[in-house]
Amino acid sequence: MGGTGDRLEGGYGAGEGAGPPCDPDLPLVSIITVSLNSEEHIEQTIESVGGQSYDNIEYIVVDGGSEDSTVDILRKHQDRITCWISEPDNGTYDAMNKGIALCRGEIIGMINSDDWYLPTAVEEIAKAATDHAEADVFFGDLLVCYEDGSYMESLKGSLAGLTRDMTLNHPTVFVKRSSLGDKAFRTDLRLASDYELMLRLHSSGAVFHHVGKPIACYRTGGKSFDHRLRYRELYAVRREYKLISRKGYRMRMMFLPLTALTAGCEEYVIGRTFFGRPSKVILRVDRKLKSWLKVILRLS
């Protein structure tokens, strides 16, 4: 299938009357993947959605106009993708908003183009949504994996620390469509809009439910992360929501270079093999330093 102008599109749901399986007794779950030049890993992401034990899924891929073979991979797997589009966008969160606007499901989840779901992930979420109809946001635990996909460690999702940091594992989060609106993500933020959305939902009284099981796998060793920008935006969002004082904000900005450095060190050490896999001693020291920093900043 083609497109108009700079936009390409396709998917098995693009034809008239086509669409995802729809059992009225089960919630329709929409999955969104945003991508840009993701040829290395997006096929595994697509296969993880197509291989779910739960059938009532629509899958939407929003590509930012990739110049590698990503679009060819989307065409190859059109039988597993309800709808895909490829066109220039204004960043990750703009692409996520485009995906949300295309969704028809009652529950929406997002999986990055280098991560993947465990086989029963959507079934676990759908069951939780049925058993806990009062909840608005569902989240689980995350398996952190090496670049080659082998297991490294598990990260528990937690609502308890949300007012201090993004303690919900984003690839495991699913939100009811009615709670999101058409433009859920703020596009003035480049790295902390997912955190701002969770804070916004939390402050508005949304009910969060922890599934308590691993839902997705996160791959380390990808593109380097701008930790300075991430923490700068995170502190600004916390200040906006009155979670830190003006003095506390200034203190955090003063420590920003050190905070970003420790985060960058952890990112570098994870997945390296020079002292074992990972370099656990260095990683332990780095995380101790991060914990010490958090205590200092919490007291400010």
CATH number at residue 214: 3.90.550.10
13 & 111 share domain: yes
What is the helix (H) or strand (E) element at residue 177, kind and residue range? helix 177-180
Instruction: Show Cβ contacts of residue 274 under 8 Å, excluding neighbours closer than 6 positions.
Output: none
What are the residues facing 282 on neighbouring strands? none
Q: What confidence score (pLDDT) does residue 17 get?
A: 45
136 & 108 share domain: yes
Model pTM? 0.88
| Top mean-pLDDT range of 173-182, 223-232, 286-295 | 173-182
206 & 128 share domain: yes
Task: For residues 146-172, give the mean pLDDT.
Answer: 91
| pLDDT > 80? residue 187 | yes
User: Residue 53's domain spans which residues?
Assistant: 8-219
20 & 79 share domain: yes
From 173, 197, 219, the end of a domain falls on 219
Range in 27-41, 65-79, 218-232 with the lowest mean pLDDT: 218-232
248 & 199 share domain: no
Number of domains in the chain: 2
Cα(133)–Cα(126) distance, integer angstroms: 10
Kindly state whether residue 277 falls inside one of the protein's structural domains.
yes
From 219, 254, 273, the end of a domain falls on 219
Cα(129)–Cα(9) distance, integer angstroms: 31
Q: What confidence score (pLDDT) does residue 146 get?
A: 80
